[in-house]
Chains A and B, each alone.
Chain A
């Protein structure tokens, strides 16, 4: 599960200071899907970076599965990310010079695992078995999104963080991806999705609306 308490994050560029997060707390239980929505610039991406352990908040604390991930040395954070967190971006989830299957295998090995069975099952569930040997540049938009999900789920994470995962998909491709995310949640994963898609909001157990770095 995910516990984020009182997160603050400021950016400074020259004279200007942007307050991206102004005291956000968020708890997501295993099996729960939380959608984060809000206009652009409301702090969605910053919040996701902080809870995924990709960025440190200036104030506040983030725990995943009971382990603090914020404010630790980068090496520790990397280890925790590999074991506990799966991240899915809108695009660019795959290493271009590796095939789809190799991308998933690479993610597993980075997490210190060898789980060919899980890998095959993932690809099968996501309808990608036939494309396992394809290069990322040859995948269609929907396939690329599903492949990104396969990589994110490669290590059975406790927390799945997705930033606009269906932004480039139409509704018909969006459906299967969201179903798969939903399925994953049932296997005791906490899911946080930032999206402005109505379908995501409908699928979520809870919607958190952000405005100007605060929960609206």
Chain B
């Protein structure tokens, strides 16, 4: 099966000279469709940097990273959920969910139907017309999951999606994510510091000092 993402000896350094900070280094890994991974590790260990590299939001300073299943064009084809609020403030929930589809060039009406279906799937159809500022933290994250679902990506990346949630809610959101990933046959990467959350995922990678310790 074609790998969704493949890293070979990837490193990312911030700054230059004596001030340079090595965020991650020597990362070699690969994910296939259907893989579900929890990345754990202390803060500052490079989890977020690795996630950004995997999502194609950042470029490595050394090594290579590729997305064979995506013909190496990751932009817009990877579902991303951030630690903080990841919804666009001026758009309501349905418009937020429809946005990746509209950006990809789908007509408004079709995108909206898809969005409502996705909201329904994650159980927040009632929130379709709400603005992000009217949503609670848990609701916002569920809408973000719906947005990932609507985009039907083959790779989903979530950075501490449950940091600001109750444990019960956190588990629910991550269950939703694994469910969605399973439905889409996509690879899922979740960075978390919550062991209960990590246990929900079949694979677990640990980051330490910028390197994968597996």
Contacts and interface: CB of A to CB of B under 8 A. Distances in A.
Given A140-B43, A141-B43, A168 B160 contact: yes
A168 B163 contact: yes
A142 interface: yes
B26 to A, nearest CB: 21
A196 interface: yes
Contacts of A171: 42, 193
B66 interface: no
Contacts, number: 37
A209 interface: no
A97 interface: no
A40 interface: yes
A202 interface: no
Interface residues of A, number: 16
Contact of B43 (A142, A164, A196): A142
A140 B49 CA distance: 12
A173 interface: yes
B166 interface: yes
A135 to B, nearest CB: 15
Interface string A152-172: 000000000000100111111
Nearest to B166: A40
Contact of A170 (B164, B167, B193): B193
B41 A196 contact: no
B42 A170 contact: yes
B193 to A, nearest CB: 3
A39 interface: yes
B167 A196 contact: yes
Contacts of B185: none
A174 B167 CA distance: 16
Contacts of B168: 39
Nearest to A168: B163
B167 A169 contact: no
Is the contact region of chain B dominated by helix, strand, or loop, or is it mixed? loop
Contacts of A167: 163-164
A140 B160 contact: no
Contacts of A172: 42-43
Interface string B158-171: 00100111111100
Contacts of A164: 164
A90 interface: yes
Interface in B120-177: 136, 138, 160, 163-169
Nearest to B170: A196
A170 B166 contact: no
Contacts of A142: 43-44
A40 B169 contact: yes
A173 B193 CA distance: 10
Nearest to A171: B193
Contact of B41 (A40, A90, A170, A174): A170
B28 interface: no
B83 interface: yes
Contacts of B136: 40
B138 A173 contact: no
Nearest to B160: A168
22 contacts: A39-B166, A40-B136, A40-B138, A40-B165, A142-B43, A142-B44, A167-B163, A167-B164, A168-B83, A168-B164, A169-B193, A170-B40, A170-B41, A170-B43, A170-B193, A171-B42, A172-B43, A173-B42, A173-B43, A173-B44, A174-B193, A196-B167
Interface of B: 40-44, 83, 136, 138, 160, 163-169, 193
**Shortest Cβ-Cβ A-B pairs, 4 listed:** A170-B193, A172-B42, A173-B43, A142-B43
